[in-house]
Amino acid sequence: MSNDICFLAEFADGVASRSAMELAAGARELAAQSGGATVALAYGPGAAAGAAGLGAAGASRAVVLSDTNVPAVTLAVAAAAAVRGAHTLLAPATPNGRDLAGALVGLLGVPAFGPVRAARIEGGRLLTEQATLQGTVITVSQPADGAPQPSVVLVLSGTFTPLEGGTGKAVVSQAGGVDAGPLGQARIAESHPAEAAVANLEEASMIVAGGRGVGSADGFAPLHELAAVLGGAVGASRAAADAGWVPYQLQIGQTGKVVKPALYVACGISGAIQHRVGMQTAQNVVAINKDPDAPIGEFADLFVVGDLFAIVPRLTAEIRRRAGG
């Protein structure tokens, strides 16, 4: 039994994901509270080479679970060996993170939390905060008395801020060659890349999203430009995705992605509850809509009544101008 704080560090194309950087910072914060070390569990293409670099992000040790593109859940047995007895494991609230975290809960019989918007350790005990019931309630939870360790915590993106200007290298080790068991039997039989990769919305800190008011696939062009000048990604409501104006991967909401960016610009989105649950924890919500009575006006931070096709291009130009371009 240790006070170590572990976290999942997903790699793609040799680069640590944004969630890995955020969780590294979070683990460092919690480790300072628990008095333990921070341990990264690295996986995905390029994890072996990149694991040491996690030291600058906050990890003191890194265990490489795998260096290839496999379904994360197949690494659960190796991960279980690596985290056994640790205080807490932080996992990203992404599909891979949830699968691996869920499998660990099943293998180790440990408490699970999340997706949380805050976590800390007080008096040696984990405390988490989660928005439940479509954000109408905040639930604060902790492990039950006598519950085994580690606690597995799903963390929403944007909960922790990656460290800047950190130094140091993590001590890297390979996960022991354990038999992956039945969970290891899932494999990627075929991989079909799309022509253009779609940005991972769950990791974006700026999102420009379009809804029914955008009207067409072409209508999304000004949204892409605004997203580009903000350095962010484009998302959509279900109406726009169902209409085929954007690929399904861009859909945010009850049946799509849940995002927690620093800025969410909603264009032509009415703000029905099914969309709201996907983005309501965004730190700043700006909504642009022709309808002054649109429900999104109730919970946006800034509500602009106007024509998005007049406002969005001008906003893009103004932001560019202020940036000195």
**205-224 positions binding another protein, by CB under 8 A:** 206
Residues 227-246 that bind another protein (CB under 8 A): 230
Site residue total, another protein (CB under 8 A): 97
Binding of another protein at residue 89 (CB under 8 A)?
no
Q: Which residue in 241, 202, 18 sits closest to 95, CA to CA? A: 202
Q: Nearest distance from residue 25's CB to another protein, in Å? A: 19
Q: Could you tell me which residues are beta bridge partners of residue 155? A: 92, 116
* Closer of 167 and 193 to another protein (Cβ): 193
Residues in the chain: 325
* Closer of 110 and 223 to another protein (Cβ): 110
* Closer of 106 and 176 to another protein (Cβ): 106
As given in the structure block, the two tokens for residue 17 are 């994901």
Q: Nearest distance from residue 22's CB to another protein, in Å? A: 18
Q: Nearest distance from residue 96's CB to another protein, in Å? A: 9
Residues 156-215 that bind another protein (CB under 8 A): 181-194, 197-200, 206
CB 152 within 8 A of CB 107: no
Q: Which residue in 109, 118, 179 sits closest to 146, CA to CA? A: 109
Distance between CA 236 and CA 275 in Å, rounded?
9
Residues 97-156 that bind another protein (CB under 8 A): 98-107, 109-115, 127, 130-148, 152, 154
Binding of another protein at residue 311 (CB under 8 A)?
yes
Residues 16-55 that bind another protein (CB under 8 A): none
* Closer of 9 and 91 to another protein (Cβ): 91
Rounded alpha-carbon distances, angstroms, from residue 63 to 21, 56, 208: 16, 15, 36
Range 240-247, long-range pairs (CB < 8 A, 24+ positions): 240/210, 240/211, 240/212, 240/214, 243/212, 244/217, 245/210, 245/214, 245/216, 245/217, 245/219, 245/220, 246/210, 246/217, 246/220, 247/194, 247/198
Residues 48-87 that bind another protein (CB under 8 A): 71, 73, 76
Binding of another protein at residue 290 (CB under 8 A)?
no
* Closer of 53 and 114 to another protein (Cβ): 114
* Closer of 32 and 273 to another protein (Cβ): 273
Q: Nearest distance from residue 81's CB to another protein, in Å? A: 14
Which helix (H) or strand (E) is 61 found in, with range? strand 61-64
Q: Which residue in 211, 221, 203 sits closest to 243, CA to CA? A: 211
Q: Nearest distance from residue 280's CB to another protein, in Å? A: 9
Q: Nearest distance from residue 101's CB to another protein, in Å? A: 6
Q: From 21-29, 30-38, 42-50, 293-301, give the range in contact with another protein by CB under 8 A.
A: 293-301
CB 62 within 8 A of CB 172: yes
Q: Nearest distance from residue 174's CB to another protein, in Å? A: 22
Residues 257-276 that bind another protein (CB under 8 A): 258, 262-263, 273-274
Tell the burial category of 262 from Cβ atoms under 10 Å away from its Cβ (0-12, 13-18, 19+): middle
* Closer of 132 and 216 to another protein (Cβ): 132
Q: Nearest distance from residue 3's CB to another protein, in Å? A: 19
